[in-house]
Amino acid sequence: MDFYGGRDPRHLPCYNAPDAARYLRIPAATVRAWAKGRKYKTTNGHRQFSPVITASQPKPLLLSFINLIELHVLRAIRIQHQIDLPKVRAALDYLETQLQISHPLAHQEFQTDGVDLFVERYGDLINISQQGQTSIKDAIAQHLERIEPDDQGLAIRLYPFTRDRESNSPRILAFDPRISFGRLAIADRGIPVDVIVSRYRAGDSLTDLAKDYDCPITSIDEAVRSALPIAA
């Protein structure tokens, strides 16, 4: 059945800023700044940064699956540098012009020439060293490994980081706009994480949940971990 009226579910507004922040392990204020822009003070009064991404629904702010992908990739830059919104925006505009595709951060082509184009332009704009550019590229590559594209190269599944040590994050939980209306779910079962967490908090044990859903207990455990303030 076509639940979306012929629309691509990847572009539908589904996630608010607090949820996106929690899922992607990005401060909520940062998510809002990247998606809505930000006012800042100068000696001549207030000025406004333009947003870094184009939110699926600006008012009230709701983000699409594609927006989640973009935020996930931009997070890699924040790991290495304090993000400079105007210069990231300029680098993204350059990248979109060069690749001639919309939402380039969510496209497989970004994984080839796009990463180099973006990092070189961003590096030039903020005047960082070659070593600094290499660090950003490494961080981006680690994030890109969590994204699966469809046959046309556009992202269709995201395995978010669920552990503080990102190298230890298993690929168990995923966002997939075709499954559970894009809610975070156990990837190979389609069981929404919020359903599992709700039952766990109500008193069901991990063993009971694994039995009820015919699911490995390690997957149930990872779903519960994802709801904790700090997943070790």
What is the residue type of 72? H
- Show which of 133, 155, 177 is a domain's final residue: 155
- Show which of 155, 186, 205 is a domain's final residue: 155
Residues 138 and 227 in one domain: no
Residues 76 and 186 in one domain: no
How far is residue 78 from each of residues 9, 81, 135, 154, 165, measured CA to CA in Å? 28, 5, 11, 23, 16
Residues 87 and 14 in one domain: yes
Number of domains in the chain: 2
Tens of pLDDT, residues 166-199: 777 899 999 999 999 999 999 989 999 999 999 9
Helices (runs of H) and strands (runs of E) counted in the chain? 9, 7
Tens of pLDDT, residues 78-125: 887 878 888 899 999 999 999 999 999 999 999 888 999 999 999 899
- Show which of 155, 179, 206 is a domain's final residue: 155
Tens of pLDDT, residues 45-62: 777 788 999 999 999 999
Classified as helix, coil or strand, 45 is strand
DSSP single-letter state for residue 179: S
CATH number of domain containing 192:
1.10.10.10
Per the structure, the complete domain to which residue 122 belongs is given by 1-155
